[in-house]
Chains A and B, each alone.
Chain A
Amino acid sequence: MVNQVPKISRGWILTGGLIAAILLILARLIYLQVFQYQYYFQMSEENRIRVLPRAAMRGKIVDREGRLLASDRPAYTVSIIPSEVSKIDYLAGELAPLLEMDEKAIVRKVSDRRTRKYEPVAIRRDLSFPAVCIIEESNELFPGVIYQLDQTRTYYYGKSLCHLIGYTGEVDEHEAKEQQYRIGSIIGRAGVERQYDQSLRGIDGIDYLEVSATGRIIGPLEDRPSKDPLMGDELALTIDMDLQMAADSCFGDTLSGAAIFLDPKTGEILALVSKPTYDPNLFAGFVSRSEYQSLAGDERLPLFDRTIRGTYPPGSTAKLLTAGAALEEGLITTETHFGACRGGMQFGNRFFKCWDKRGHGSLGLLAAIEQSCDVYFYQLGLKLGLEKWSKYARACGFDQVTGLDIPGEKFGHAPDENWYEKTYGKYNWNKSVMINLGIGQGEFLVTPIELAQFYAGIVNHGVVMKPHVMRYLRTPKGETNYYHAEIARGLPFSEETLEILKEGLYRVVQSGTAGRSRIPEVTMGGKTGTAQNPHGEDHSWFVGYAPALEPQILGCVIVENAGHGSTVAAPFVKAVFVKFFQKKGIIKMPPPPTPMPPLVSAGNGISSAAN
């Protein structure tokens, strides 16, 4: 009978059931402790260990004479570990006044973190010591809030080097995934900070701490010693701060533009200025959204690096390209004369003006360069033709980046026939475009660094060096790696052509359009330029070099909306050259004060402009 179980059997049934249950438990025990042992052991290790990265000191940046430009200084950083915070709104409300931050900004920073919630999110860098003390004392009130002695980047010359050095920022989640960097660690965002980030960043150290379930730190882990951080390399720039400051101060606070000074023999950049500027220290600590927006929204574009990203018509500075190409093609000699300049030239149904209404008469090449006669170059351009012109322009390195070791470089535009056909259609343009291109107007655009590199090639026997700002990187152990100067290309000009061009450039300063910027002690060559600006006042160009025979320095300056190159840009170059040769002992101290030239309005509304 099924329903009535005999007494003895009942005892055995109970025993059997009990044995089955105990076997089940034993099986589970074996499963967890034998088969899953590795997994759970790992979990218990992770449980008790908190891996706290100790940020490496970022390498310092110095100029060519060892002057400190940027370094890390110790500062407290307050972070929140998202996984340990249950009520972020409440916590943010408590912390906001202490951190002098907006409540919402704190909440956003924490809730933006979608993954790796157990890693701290840096909320506020560079917090004052008293505020840190308050956080330390009220530890229990702020669960998940930690502070660490960290570093903050300091830029000692602030604004005058902002585009060149750039700034740093925190690695976000996306970058952390892509580049295997720790979230919240410091990464170079612009300038050489970005270019040489790998070397500057160093290697973070790691502290292994034993923590309790509540996050209380018990102490360092005994069986795993901490790893000390390794400081980043020292970056020495080719920049000479004396020249940088001299160039920067020429612009003052009101002028916009760019200035590049370099050694044409090596390509070393001595000064690199883009105006207006911003204070990169803002980015080092903690930028509020409004501060960033006011920078980004500024009409004068302070964040925009004009030296490598600004594209302008080169104006008369491009006449050397036209001249060089024509000489090389054998179209002219120095003796060749064109139709006389009478303040302009009739071509088809249009009258193309020369910058000088009085006219230059009939000139040879050297005099045409000296006087920057537009009419001469109109005719030379037409004679050369678009096909050859664009071939030479490209061979000279226009229409491509110079390879300067600062990220974000753009290149200008040297149009050719294909481009015109594509842009305007087959029959909607004609040879007259060469009239403009020949004098550096029209669709021809260059960046200041491109133009500087071109001229550096002319004065360096046709050898174009790759411009660079890095002089050396030095590891904490003292191993130094110098930048190896590189030849970018050779100009497509023979030695004879180059001699003629240099003779012309010398005359420009001796007796031509830049005569006022002569320096008595040093011979100098150069070329002025005035770039037509359809949006307003013309831009003022000057490219100069000294000494004329074996140049040690070459400067390329553009001042936006400032008019003629001779009146504004050339004196800037002169001021920096004076400083340069004073340091060399060639010009005696004290230097004659360089008067700020008056701003000359050049708005003459001519169809082409040059001087």
Chain B
Amino acid sequence: MFVAGALLTIISILLVYSANHDSPDPRLQDDWVKQIIWFVLAAMVFFATTAIPLRMHEILAPIYYGIAILMLLGLILFGASMFGAQRWYSLGAFSIQPAEIGKVAFIFMLGRYLTYSRRPISSLKKIAAASAICGVITLLVVRQPDLGSAVIFAVVFLVMMFWEGMPVKYLLLFITPVASMIASSSMIAWIVFFALLIFAVVPLIRSSLAFTITLVAINLAVGAFSSIAWNRLHDYQQMRIKIFLDPGQDPLGAGYQIIQSKVAIGSGGLLGKGYLAGSQNKLDFLPLRHTDFIFSVAAEEFGMLGGVVIIALFGYIFHRGIRAAMKSRNSFSALVAIGATSALAFQMLVNIGMVLGLLPVAGVPLPFVSYGGSSLLVSWVFLGLVVNAERNWQEYS
């Protein structure tokens, strides 16, 4: 596992070097050196994470969670603003993203609650309490606003709840409103969605009348109010969604990123243009190429071969993560492993989906590979947690 993570991080250093070492902005030229330093730190954190018993985190979880909430609150007051959003604490040369720390704290907190609560998972009270743990931190992240991270909290929450055995019908309670919201952008899509919901989903879950009515009502409400919510989105968020739907409408404006990313990837071909030889990368056509769009640099310079290697390394890590959760006899360890894996997997899927033009531009970094200390450290913490759970699978709670 360490080897898989290390390979990804070394690829990251190579790509950051390629992307930025001859950047016209001298502040970016040494990013690859910073990334090496972060890697050394991350490796130490990884070994520490594998060594510290998960039991300890289980006990300290509420404290972690509290600190994360405080940091997010503080961010609203003191955070450094960038691109119209407050996501950073500036500490000299480095910056800290509380949302990243929040992800770890949230997984511990939810894991602890689900393990400690004696109520059955189908209990509405338990689901409500778990939702609250997720909801508070998610709202604070949305407030930044950082939609990409917020979605990750939601997904990790659902995966962990599913893992814990929450009935599918309750899962639907969370998932269908999102679908309703998306479908509500078009009247026809919305009608089709409700037809599916009432005539396919409801008979399938064979639930009580009360539940069915609640489900439909929530979907109606969410769909109806989503237009109001749409207007509350920041301009750039609206734009990103619009551009995702039709990137060609403004090739030199906001759709530029997606188009240039696709050009970079497509022009890489099977074997790529060669290391340090990507013209899209070298000539500044790729935006944010050392962070969010780093996969495009990989695909341009190393071609499909490079892309497949990166995806395969991730695939291996995810496989080990899920296997660890399945093997573990300890409920908390299993939840932490599945939470960490799902966080990594979801970020990876969203990031690569974005640079490939499958998903809207969401500002989600690629774990291990995107430049940035917080993201790298947290990726390694997740990896450490998975390895820890895997190693101690036979421990009972």
Contacts of B353 in A (CB 8 A): 25, 28
Question: Who on chain B is nearest to A24 by CB?
Answer: B358
Identify which of B43-51, B96-104, B136-144, B302-310 touches chain A. Answer: B302-310
Question: Who on chain A is nearest to B280 by CB?
Answer: A44
Bound CA–CA A45/B273 (angstroms) = 12
Interface residues on A, range: 35 or more
Query: Smallest Cβ distance from B189 to chain A, in angstroms?
Result: 21
Bound CA–CA A218/B322 (angstroms) = 49
User: Of A33, A210, A214, which one neighbours B266 at CB under 8 angstroms?
Assistant: A33
Contacts of B285 in A (CB 8 A): 44, 47-48, 212-213
Question: Who on chain B is nearest to A25 by CB?
Answer: B352
The B305-337 residues at the A interface (CB cut-off 8 A) are 307-308, 311, 314-315, 318-319, 322-323, 325-326
Contact of A134 with B by CB under 8 A: no
Known: A7-B165, A29-B299. A44 touches B267 (CB 8 A): yes
Contact of B115 with A by CB under 8 A: no
User: Of B167, B168, B280, B315, which one neighbours A47 at CB under 8 angstroms?
Assistant: B280
Identify which of A35-43, A254-262, A431-439, A496-504 touches chain B. Answer: A35-43
Contacts of B308 in A (CB 8 A): 26, 29
Bound CA–CA A11/B163 (angstroms) = 8
Bound CA–CA A454/B127 (angstroms) = 109
Contacts of B319 in A (CB 8 A): 15
Residue contact A29 to B284, C-beta cutoff 8 Å? no
Question: Who on chain B is nearest to A14 by CB?
Answer: B322
Q: A1-31 CB contact bits vs B (8 Å, 1 = yes)?
A: 0111101101100110010011011101110
User: Of B168, B169, B303, B315, which one neighbours A33 at CB under 8 angstroms?
Assistant: B303
Known: A14-B322, A33-B266. A4 touches B338 (CB 8 A): no
Identify which of B217-225, B257-265, B378-386 touches chain A. Answer: B257-265
Interface residues on B, range: 35 or more
User: Of A4, A33, A47, which one neighbours B279 at CB under 8 angstroms?
Assistant: A47
Query: Smallest Cβ distance from B187 to chain A, in angstroms?
Result: 28
Bound CA–CA A21/B262 (angstroms) = 19
Bound CA–CA A210/B263 (angstroms) = 17
Known: A7-B165, A25-B356. A2 touches B205 (CB 8 A): yes
Contacts of B349 in A (CB 8 A): 21-22, 25
The residue among A5, A33, A34 with the most chain B CB atoms within 10 A of its own CB is: A33
Contact of B387 with A by CB under 8 A: no
Query: Smallest Cβ distance from A32 to chain B, in angstroms?
Result: 4
Residue contact A41 to B266, C-beta cutoff 8 Å? yes
User: Of A18, A26, A214, which one neighbours B284 at CB under 8 angstroms?
Assistant: A214
Contacts of B82 in A (CB 8 A): none
Contact of B135 with A by CB under 8 A: no
Total A-B pairs, Cβ < 8 A: 131
**8 closest Cβ pairs, A-B complex:** A40-B266, A44-B267, A3-B167, A11-B326, A213-B284, A32-B266, A41-B267, A213-B285
Residue contact B263 to A2, C-beta cutoff 8 Å? no
Bound CA–CA A588/B42 (angstroms) = 105
Known: A2-B168, A5-B168, A22-B315. A40 touches B267 (CB 8 A): yes
User: Of B163, B263, B356, which one neighbours A40 at CB under 8 angstroms?
Assistant: B263
Residue contact B162 to A10, C-beta cutoff 8 Å? yes
Contact of B66 with A by CB under 8 A: no
Residue contact B303 to A3, C-beta cutoff 8 Å? no
Query: Smallest Cβ distance from A339 to chain B, in angstroms?
Result: 88
Bound CA–CA A9/B159 (angstroms) = 14
Contacts of A32 in B (CB 8 A): 262, 265-266, 356
Contacts of A2 in B (CB 8 A): 168, 204-206
Contact of A211 with B by CB under 8 A: yes
Question: With contacts A2-B205, A14-B163, A212-B285 known, what are 11 further pairs, Cβ within 8 A?
Answer: A11-B323, A11-B326, A21-B349, A22-B314, A32-B265, A33-B304, A45-B267, A47-B285, A212-B284, A213-B284, A214-B284
Contact of A83 with B by CB under 8 A: yes
Q: List 27 A-B contacts (CB under 8 A).
A: A2-B206, A3-B205, A5-B165, A8-B326, A10-B165, A14-B162, A14-B322, A15-B319, A18-B322, A25-B311, A25-B356, A26-B311, A28-B353, A29-B308, A32-B266, A33-B268, A33-B269, A41-B266, A41-B269, A44-B263, A47-B279, A48-B279, A210-B279, A210-B283, A212-B283, A212-B284, A213-B285
Residue contact A43 to B352, C-beta cutoff 8 Å? no
Bound CA–CA A121/B264 (angstroms) = 29
Bound CA–CA A8/B268 (angstroms) = 41
Bound CA–CA A32/B280 (angstroms) = 15
Contacts of B315 in A (CB 8 A): 18, 22
Contacts of B168 in A (CB 8 A): 2-3, 5
Contact of B345 with A by CB under 8 A: yes
Query: Smallest Cβ distance from B154 to chain A, in angstroms?
Result: 16
Q: A231-258 CB contact bits vs B (8 Å, 1 = yes)?
A: 0000000000000000000000000000
Contacts of B265 in A (CB 8 A): 29, 32-33, 40
Bound CA–CA A18/B323 (angstroms) = 13
Bound CA–CA A25/B268 (angstroms) = 16
Known: A3-B205, A14-B159. A33 touches B307 (CB 8 A): yes
Q: B151-167 CB contact bits vs A (8 Å, 1 = yes)?
A: 00000000100110101
Contact of B228 with A by CB under 8 A: no
Bound CA–CA A170/B345 (angstroms) = 59
Query: Smallest Cβ distance from A343 to chain B, in angstroms?
Result: 84
User: Of B252, B266, B311, B356, which one neighbours A37 at CB under 8 angstroms?
Assistant: B266
The A192-231 residues at the B interface (CB cut-off 8 A) are 210-214, 216, 218
Residue contact B283 to A14, C-beta cutoff 8 Å? no
Bound CA–CA A41/B267 (angstroms) = 4
Contact of B270 with A by CB under 8 A: yes
Known: A14-B322, A22-B315. A3 touches B356 (CB 8 A): no
Question: Who on chain B is nearest to A11 by CB?
Answer: B326
Contacts of A43 in B (CB 8 A): 263, 266-267
Question: Who on chain A is nearest to B253 by CB?
Answer: A86
Query: Smallest Cβ distance from A300 to chain B, in angstroms?
Result: 51
Known: A10-B163, A15-B322, A25-B352. A33 touches B283 (CB 8 A): no
Query: Smallest Cβ distance from A12 to chain B, in angstroms?
Result: 8
Residue contact A37 to B269, C-beta cutoff 8 Å? yes
Contacts of B279 in A (CB 8 A): 44-45, 47-48, 210
Bound CA–CA A18/B140 (angstroms) = 28
Bound CA–CA A44/B326 (angstroms) = 46
